[in-house]
Amino acid sequence: MSSINWLGVVLATVVGFTSGAVWFGPKTFYPVWWRALGKPEGGEPGGGMSMGVVFGSTFVAVVVQAIVMALVIGKLDEASDVGPAQGGLVGLILGVGIAAAPSLSHRLFGQQGFKVWLIEVASDVLNVTLMGIVIAAVS
């Protein structure tokens, strides 16, 4: 098994978490996404959970993504040098194929529609693409 590039994981986690925060910020896609979910204006996300739990859980999920991305890129790097462009491509492929594609059925069966799916997965794909760039750049 490949060794994990921990500096890459830390930097990719910061980049992924920050990118997600900007994507779902109050001046970006959060209001559109919230309305697409059919939620009332001024409502709070998290379904009554503590925001510490929501953000903490989100952070842990981003760390897991970064570790997996580091493992994938590390394994590919053993066979052929993986630079930032290739790392970004790996992130894009994993984002579209592993994150975006299967989640479509969840949104449709949950009656949340294409708009919710598109806003959510566009963020996921962007985040893992950026993570791939960062991890490959520091490898």
Distance separating alpha carbons of residues 23 and 28, to the nearest angstrom: 6
Q: Where are the domains of the chain?
A: 6-137
pLDDT, averaged across the chain: 93
Q: Three-state SS string across 96-115, please?
A: HHHHHHHHHHHHHHCCCHHH
Question: Taking 80 as the threshold, does the pLDDT of residue 2 lie above it?
Answer: no
pLDDT of 57-86, one tens digit each? 999 999 999 999 999 999 999 888 899 999
The pTM of the full predicted model, rounded to 2 decimals, is: 0.92
Which pLDDT belongs to residue 1? 55
Burial degree of 40 (CB within 10 A; 0-12, 13-18, 19+): exposed
Return all residues near 137 (Cβ < 8 A) that are at least 6 apart. Answer: 8, 83, 84, 87
